[in-house]
Every structure is written in structure tokens, then in C-alpha cells.
């Protein structure tokens, strides 16, 4: 069985967020989904998505750059070619295009969706088979205001939608950020897991001070406290504190995962399909982590439903010691799918059906697509 790619179409889809989402490097009021439609000669169509955060403020690929890499380089390379699976697809993309893992992730996702539809199996089956149909999912409190975050957290706990929270810090002065995090932790209570993501904003001395206070205050996990290039610092912090570290920006591919673990990093890796170049590539990093005894976490680039579901199919094949943050669609006011994901009891349900199991609402796609 193989698929021949006939055409690849790409849209930029702008969807407002339900509230401002404040990270250390940008405040989002809108998310741009780069949507890919891959039509195959065999009659199946696959869909994929790539997102980043805050234009070029989070990473090296912008939505416009992702679209340009696909339309100018990757689509002409792939159209007319026949692939028996993701291995030959990835090999061809990597031979001609360096980096651009976000663009490659959207294409790998679309191919997996098409292949699953052709074989009449879910993408999770192509990736090794789901261990579970429901995955834990936390929520990020990042309104930029401590009291608003507390109200939002309490409301979501009362509704039973989430029982674990991540806070975005690093934009403010160290001690006021710590006060913010510990006030939320105290208000939500002992039984609620609260983690923080610094998104690289601290230098090493600040991280040493900050982590001591966060550890003392009962925070459960600290994500990417220092810049991505400072792997020596990250390893040292992971060995110095009992408060575990989640490596995010510092660990994109299996090579990064190997390097950190080999250097003595203890803690966990945030897997993201966009950082690795697709669901199959992200699983390679997961398997390196498993070999090294590093724990796993299912990360998001705040994708809409398509990218979130693609990630969930991959994460469903793994034991995720720190759960997932696949809440992206809940941060958006709308989406381009006819069958939204179901979130309840701190969990999200993996869609059934062939391929990704996501049905696109093409009217909404046209409505939100950038003209």
C-alpha cells in the first residue's frame, strides 16, 4: 500500500483567543493556524496543521514562513511522488529542506491522516497503537492578572474540566512573578498540581533563586527556566533541586534529547510535534527519553483541533508521566472542525475513526482564512 501525492494546498487561518494569553515573550490575542490539505491520487485527502506563538517571538518559523516553505519548496518536492509510509516522506523532505520542522510537521500529519483513511485505521494505529482513549490535560492560567487567574482556576476546578494548572511567568520581575505563582498555588489548594513555565526568561543566578522559592512554595514542575542554548545550566539545575525541570525549547529533536540525557539531565521532556517535525519524529525523541529514564510530557504549540488531535494520537501510544497540555482548541473562540474534541474530568478523549478522526468544516475554513 502506498499513496501518491497529487496536490497540497495551504491556508493561514486567524482565530481570536478567548482572552489575552500572556507569555514571557508575547501576549496573544489571536492564533494563526497554518492548515494543509493533501490530496492523493488514490482518492483520499489528508489534513495537517502547524502553529507557532506570537509571530516570530517564540521560534524561528512564523506562520507566513511555514506557508512559504510548504508552497515554495516542500509541495513542489512532494507532489507526484509515491510514499509507502512516513519514513520515505520524511527522508525526502529532510534531504532537500533543512530545519523547518513546523512545516514538515503539518505535512507529516496530513500524510498520516490520508494513510489512515486509506487503510481505514486511526493514526494512533499507524504510530504503534493507543494505550489509552483518554489523556490527562491541564490548563494554562495566563491572563496576566493574579486575581483573574485565581478566579479562572477556581471556576475550571468547580466545573471539573481541569485539575492541574500551568502558569506563565518570566515577563515580570523575579520576586513579583514568584509572588504571583505562590498566590495562585495557595488559592487553588494542596490537592491541585501547579506548574510554571518561564519560557527561557531567567539567567542562571535568577533561576537558582527562583527555583528555591518555587520549591519551598509547593510548585510541582518548572518548565524551561533558562535560555535554550544553556544546556549545561539546565543540567546543573536539574541536579541541584528536587523540584523537577521540564525541558521545552531546549529539546526539539531526538538529538537534543540524547545530548541532554547524556549530559546528566534529570527531569522530563516536553514533546511537541512541531518542534520535532511531525508525530513520528516526536515519538523518536520520546523513545530516546525512555531509554535514558527521562519522563515524558505531551506539549502544545497552542494548536487548533487538527494539530492537537495529531499530537494526541502520538501521545496515546506513550506513558506520559506528567500528562499533557493539549488544551489549544479551548483557548480559541472558534475552530475549523465539525466535530470538536471532548474535554471533561481533567481529560480529553481521542477521536475515533480513520485517520485523525477530524472532520473539517470547509465553510469555517474559508471564513477565517486570510484573504
Ligand X SMILES: O=C(O)C[C@H]1C=CC(=O)O1
What does the binding site for ligand X look like in residue numbers (CB under 6 A)?
53, 140, 142, 197, 199, 248, 299-300, 302, 325
- Record the cell numbers describing residue 257, joined without a space: 534529547
- In sequence order, which residues have a C-beta less than 8 Å from that of residue 318 and are 6 or more positions away? 131, 283, 286, 296, 298
CB of 224 to Mn ion, least distance (A): 5
Could you tell me which stretch among 117-125, 151-159, 242-250, 335-343 binds Mn ion (CB under 5 A)? 242-250
Q: Are 101 and 276 in contact (CB under 8 A)?
A: yes
Interface with Mn ion, residue 248, by CB under 5 A: yes
Closer residue to Mn ion (CB): 61 or 248? 248
Task: Out of 197, 256, 303, 325, point to the residue binding Mn ion (CB under 5 A).
Answer: 197
168 is catalytic: yes
User: Residue 300 binds which entry of ligand X, Mn ion, none, with Cβ cut-offs from 5 to 8 Å by kind?
Assistant: ligand X
**Per-residue exposure over 192-216, b if at least 16 CB sit within 10 Å of its own CB, e if not:** bbbbbbbbbbbebebbbebbebbee
Interface with Mn ion, residue 108, by CB under 5 A: no
Indicate which residue of 168, 185, 272, 275 is catalytic: 168
User: Residue 302 binds which entry of ligand X, Mn ion, none, with Cβ cut-offs from 5 to 8 Å by kind?
Assistant: ligand X
Containing H/E element for 105? helix 101-119
Within 13 A of 129's CA, how many CA atoms are on the CB side?
Answer: 1
6 is catalytic: no
User: Residue 308 binds which entry of ligand X, Mn ion, none, with Cβ cut-offs from 5 to 8 Å by kind?
Assistant: none
Closer residue to Mn ion (CB): 67 or 272? 272
With the C-alpha atoms ordered 224, 226, 229, 231, is the resulting torsion angle positive or negative?
A: negative
Closer residue to ligand X (CB): 326 or 360? 326
What is the C-alpha to C-alpha distance for residues 301 and 293, in angstroms, rounded to an integer?
A: 25
Q: What angle do CA 123, 328, 130 make, to 5 degrees?
A: 25
Q: Are 360 and 331 in contact (CB under 8 A)?
A: no
Interface with Mn ion, residue 149, by CB under 5 A: no
CB of 207 to Mn ion, least distance (A): 15
Interface with Mn ion, residue 303, by CB under 5 A: no
User: Which residues are catalytically annotated?
Assistant: 168, 325
User: Which residues of the shown chain bind Mn ion in the complex (CB under 5 A)?
Assistant: 197, 223, 248
Amino acid at each position: 500500500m502506498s499513496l501518491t501525492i497529487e496536490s497540497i494546498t495551504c491556508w493561514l487561518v486567524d482565530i481570536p483567543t478567548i482572552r489575552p494569553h500572556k507569555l514571557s515573550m508575547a501576549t496573544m490575542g489571536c492564533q494563526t493556524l497554518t492548515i494543509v490539505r493533501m490530496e492523493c491520487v488514490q482518492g483520499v485527502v489528508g489534513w495537517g496543521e502547524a502553529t507557532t506563538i506570537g509571530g516570530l517571538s517564540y521560534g524561528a518559523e512564523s506562520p507566513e514562513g511555514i506557508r512559504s516553505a510548504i508552497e515554495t519548496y516542500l509541495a513542489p518536492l512532494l507532489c507526484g511522488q509515491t510514499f509507502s509510509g512516513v519514513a520515505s516522506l520524511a527522508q525526502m523532505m529532510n534531504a532537500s529542506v533543512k530545519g523547518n520542522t513546523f512545516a514538515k510537521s503539518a505535512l507529516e500529519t496530513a500524510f498520516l491522516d490520508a494513510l489512515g483513511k486509506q487503510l481505514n485505521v486511526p493514526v494512533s494505529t499507524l504510530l504503534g497503537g493507543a494505550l489509552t482513549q483518554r489523556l490527562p490535560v491541564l490548563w494554562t492560567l495566563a491572563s496576566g492578572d493574579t486575581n483573574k487567574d485565581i478566579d479562572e482556576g477556581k471556576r475550571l476546578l468547580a466545573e471539573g474540566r481541569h485539575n492541574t494548572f500551568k502558569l506563565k511567568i518570566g515577563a515580570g520581575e523575579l520576586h513579583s512573578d514568584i509572588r504571583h505563582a505562590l498566590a495562585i498555588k495557595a488559592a487553588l489548594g494542596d490537592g491541585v498540581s501547579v506548574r510554571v513555565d518561564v519560557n527561557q526568561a531567567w539567567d542562571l543566578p535568577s533561576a537558582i533563586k527562583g527555583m528555591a522559592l518555587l520549591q519551598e512554595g509547593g510548585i510541582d514542575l518548572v518548565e524551561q527556566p533558562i535560555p535554550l542554548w544553556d544546556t549545561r545550566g539546565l543540567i546543573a539545575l536539574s541536579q541541584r533541586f528536587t523540584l523537577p525541570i521540564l525541558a521545552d525549547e531546549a529539546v526539539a529533536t531526538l538529538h537534543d534529547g540524547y545530548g541532554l540525557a547524556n549530559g546528566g539531565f534529570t527531569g522530563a521532556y516536553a514533546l511537541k510535534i512541531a518542534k520535532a517535525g511531525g508525530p513520528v519524529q516526536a515519538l523518536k525523541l520520546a523513545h530516546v527519553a525512555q531509554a535514558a529514564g527521562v519522563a515524558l510530557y505531551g506539549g502544545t504549540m497552542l494548536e487548533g483541533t487538527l494539530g492537537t488531535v495529531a499530537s494526541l494520537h502520538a501521545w496515546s501510544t506513550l506513558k506520559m508521566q506528567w500528562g499533557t497540555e493539549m488544551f489549544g482548541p479551548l483557548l480559541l473562540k472558534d475552530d475549523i472542525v465539525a466535530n470538536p474534541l471532548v474535554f471533561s474530568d481533567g481529560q480529553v478523549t481521542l477521536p475515533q475513526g480513520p485517520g485523525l478522526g477530524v472532520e473539517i468544516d470547509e465553510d469555517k475554513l474559508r471564513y477565517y482564512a486570510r484573504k
